[in-house]
Amino acid sequence: MSTLRIFNGRIIDPANGRDEKADLWIRDGVIIETPVDGTKADEEIDAKGRIVAPGLIDIHVHFREPGQSHKETIGTGSQAAAAGGFTSVVCMPNTSPAADNAGTITLIREKAATSSVVNIFTTGAITKGLAGQELAPYNAMVGAGIVAITDDGHCVQNHEVMRRAVEYARMFGLVVLDHCQDYSLVGGGVMNEGEWSLRLGLPGWPRIGEEIIVMRNILLADLCDSPIHCQHISSGGSVRLIREARARGVKISGEVCPHHIALTDDHLQTFDSNYKMNPPLRTERDIEAIIGGIADGTLDILCSDHAPHAKYEKEVELDQAPFGILGLETEFGLFSDILVHKKKAIDMARLIELYTSKPAKLLSLDRGTLGVGAQGDVTLIDPDLEWVYDKELSPSLSRNTPFHGTEMKGRAVQTIVAGKTVWSL
């Protein structure tokens, strides 16, 4: 049997209410009680000055395989995840072909089993082909191992179809993850509708295009008594709607990506497509509302929406470029820098909770804890490390990021999956 001992670190395990300096032991990939018989470990890691956290979880990534492996593969995406401190990620179904059937989902899981260095969880599509018209076969996809359903990258516009999706999801114990975008309001918008879209002469993407679907989801979650999770919240109005609904006991939740609190729409004045994302960058007013929502618990999931694109795809006119940026390697540092160190909206223990026990609970994942018997997934964090992101060092196949050269404070420095180090600084 192989044993690992991590010592001298500050263990923060929100799932078990634990925050203390202690040893952590892992045997054959599983966390065990600290031995009292003088057992010596096969490997030891001195975590002095570091936080020992459950392996971080990102529930919103795009690894592009199958069908778009020129952007990213499961292998390279998993390496980027490990470099960001993530031991588990949840992949979206907008692959080519879409992950809307058991065969494609099985293919993804088999590929992950042989090429990924982290745990890969899969979602299934809400509708066939992500077309928003006909429900995908949930029973077969559950059998293939999905943990949620979503049409991410698309949004079901037909409310009757969405209602039936939520009702069927409840039967299978699934959470519906929704990309909130009303097509009739958003139209061909490429950036936030406001001062800068007018100045630049670019089609605007109004806040209400997100908010009206958030409200739709609140009504359906209430009607069906089943959870709906709103993806990548960008509007202050959406935060208010979710806060009011949660106060009434509605099973609605929301997540935040770092770019929606780190950047504003005025960055588009350079016409740099690395600032083009869906939903778009908005204003300081929205940022303050989102940070307030994180601070008061309205928004309790953090993620990246890691969306790699090849260089030639982004180096075109702004209105022709695809939406999306890389995120796995920079998200923890950005959230740590902004939320913990600069804004002091939350502390490090809360930040870790939003990346571990909260996402694990939402999707019923057997991760996000350092309890005895749990898989030995661990992230070591230096909360005060000051560092600069260099995109050229990324293991991702793509380079579409606006954060090259950005200074941050706080970083994951070692990633351990099932007791084995898969990345270290």
Annotated binding-site residues read: 60, 62-64, 94, 152, 179, 232, 278, 305, 309, 323-324
What H or E segment, with its residue span, contains residue 60?
strand 56-61
Residue at token pair 């500050």: 10
List, as residue ranges, the binding site for Zn(2+): 60, 62, 152, 179, 232, 305
The CB-side HSE value for 24 (13 A sphere, CA atoms) comes to 37
First to last CA, the chain: 27
Question: Which of 81, 16, 5 shows the shortest CA–CA distance to 370?
Answer: 16
One-letter amino acid identity for 401?
T
Is 305 part of the annotated catalytic residue set? yes
Name the DSSP class of 297.
T
CB-based contact 308:396 (threshold 8 Å): yes
Residues composing the chain: 425
DSSP state of 16: G
* Catalytic-labelled residue, pool 100, 305, 337, 377: 305
Residue 311 is encoded by which pair of tokens? 């260089």
CA distances in angstroms from 202 to 130, 195, 235, 279, 281, listed in the order given: 27, 11, 19, 15, 14
Nearest to 329 by CA among 10, 81, 1, 147: 81
Contact 373, 38 (CB under 8 A): no
Q: What DSSP assignment string belongs to 362-423? A: HHT-S-S---TTSB--EEEEEEEEEEE--GGG-SSS----S-TT-EEEEEEEEEEETTEEEE
Tell me the torsion sign for CA atoms 416, 417, 419, 420.
Answer: negative
Task: Tokens 């709906």: give the residue.
Answer: 228
Residue recorded with tokens 């879409």: 98
Residues making up the binding site for substrate: 62-64, 94, 278, 309, 323-324
Laid out side by side, the sheet with 24-27 consists of: 30-32, 24-27, 3-7, 43-46
- For residue 279, whether the previous peptide bond is cis, meaning omega lies within 30 degrees of 0, is yes
* 88 contact partners, CB below 8 Å, separation of at least 6: 55, 56, 57, 58, 118, 119, 120, 121, 365, 367, 368, 377
Q: Report the DSSP pairing between strands 301-302 and 378-388.
A: unpaired
What amino acid positions are annotated as catalytic residues? 305
